Amino acid sequence: MIQVKKEKLLILSANFGDGHKQVAKAITEVAELSYPEVETATLDIMKWIHPRLNPISHFLYIRGIKRLPFLYSFIYKRTRKPNSFSMKLNSILSSGLEPVLEIINNMKPSVVVSTYPFAAGIMSKLKELGLINVPIVTVITDYTDHSYWLHPNTDHYLVGSKEVEERLIRLGVERSKIKNTGIPIRQQFYKKHSRNALAEKFDFDPKKFTLLVMGGGDGLIGKGFSTLQALENIPHPVQIVIVCGRNKKLKLQLESKLKDTIHKIRIVGFCENIAEIMAISDIMITKPGGVTTTEAIEMDLPMLIYKPLPARRKIMLIIY
């Protein structure tokens, strides 16, 4: 009896910005629906490479965005185009070849997809050294380009817009390597949702204006969220859903601060049913992440962008 080799898909992601993980989930969903015979696995590459350092790195990443946004923006802007500084920093952040090579040798995937830039860098380096010969695909999870996404041995790039495609071509990437697929999002955002049914589920009035406030999976709203305080100036009661993500401290603070408001407020932590919450909302206040933006566009949900990081704000203004 001839044994047929099972096709395997390995997705490399990381928990630095929730969008990378959500895109990995979206790809997994499509793979399982369209190709159920393919074995799919997702690896948090930073956790795998640095199991002890990863929680500290994640804490510093979130802390830096909250407390030192201009430092984050300086590094982002300084490294957006390839230069000696970006290459040096990229080589440090893309270290950890041995653990990744180990998982690839054990799993023997048919293709490796990276939704995190430094994972893409590691895969490119492994191919450069001749240690792997597997096709590698990079999914850019934002509507801007950055040097950290671009590596010489990447076989294919999946991008979210024509603008990003053209930017990559100008930076020297072969057109044949780029596919404008849009940013992958989970299947729940393509489903039809009944506002009346969801209103009953959330104990809301389907006819009343509903505002959604989101700060990403890590709850990057911040302590002095003046926009929420300004809501008290709205003369008529509205319905508000605030998604705090994994930020349990923020959730407790808001529950205390907003307990006497005239509005009907529902404060939730990290949740998987974001499409339902978007479906019942009339407008969303959020950070301008590529994945959240794509989800909102698919749901026809208007957005108010709250405090984008300075460098990214400037880049987005240039693009749009």
Instruction: Please report, in tens digits, the pLDDT of each residue of the chain (320 residues total).
Output: 455 578 999 999 998 778 899 999 999 999 999 999 999 999 998 887 766 655 555 555 555 556 656 655 656 665 666 666 556 655 655 567 888 999 999 999 999 999 999 899 999 999 999 999 999 999 999 998 888 899 999 999 999 999 999 999 999 999 999 999 999 999 999 999 999 999 999 999 999 999 999 876 454 555 445 556 667 777 788 999 999 887 888 888 888 888 778 889 999 988 889 999 999 999 999 877 899 999 999 999 999 887 665 544 444 443 34
Sign of CA dihedral 271, 306, 64, 185: positive
Residue with tokens 């407008």: 283
Residue 313's pLDDT is what? 44
C-alpha 147/C-alpha 157 separation (Å) is: 13
CB atoms within 10 A of CB 238: 16
Residue 320's pLDDT is what? 41
H/E stretch holding 71 reads helix 69-78
- Residue 102 tokens, joined: 């180990």
Residue 187's pLDDT is what? 97
- Which residues fall within 8 angstroms of residue 148, CB to CB, at 6 or more apart? 79, 86, 90, 93, 117, 118, 120, 121
Q: Quick one: CATH architecture of 193-319?
A: 3-Layer(aba) Sandwich (3.40)
Domains 8-184 and 193-319 share a fold: yes
Per the CB < 8 A criterion, the answer to whether 70 and 310 are in contact is yes
- Which residues fall within 8 angstroms of residue 106, CB to CB, at 6 or more apart? none
On whether the pTM is more than 0.75, the answer is yes
Superfamily of domain 8-184: Response regulator (3.40.50.2300)
Rg, Å, the chain Cα set? 21
Angle, CA of 219, 221 and 223, to the nearest 5°: 115
Distance of CA 39 to the CA centre of its chain: 23
C-alpha 211/C-alpha 163 separation (Å) is: 31
Residue 316's pLDDT is what? 43
C-alpha 312/C-alpha 317 separation (Å) is: 9
Per the CB < 8 A criterion, the answer to whether 135 and 111 are in contact is yes
C-alpha 11/C-alpha 233 separation (Å) is: 47
Residue 88's pLDDT is what? 61
Residue 228's pLDDT is what? 64
- Give 174-212 as a DSSP string: -GGGEEE------GGGGS---HHHHHHHHT--TTS-EEE
Domain limits, the chain: 8-184, 193-319
CB atoms within 10 A of CB 265: 19
C-alpha 143/C-alpha 130 separation (Å) is: 32
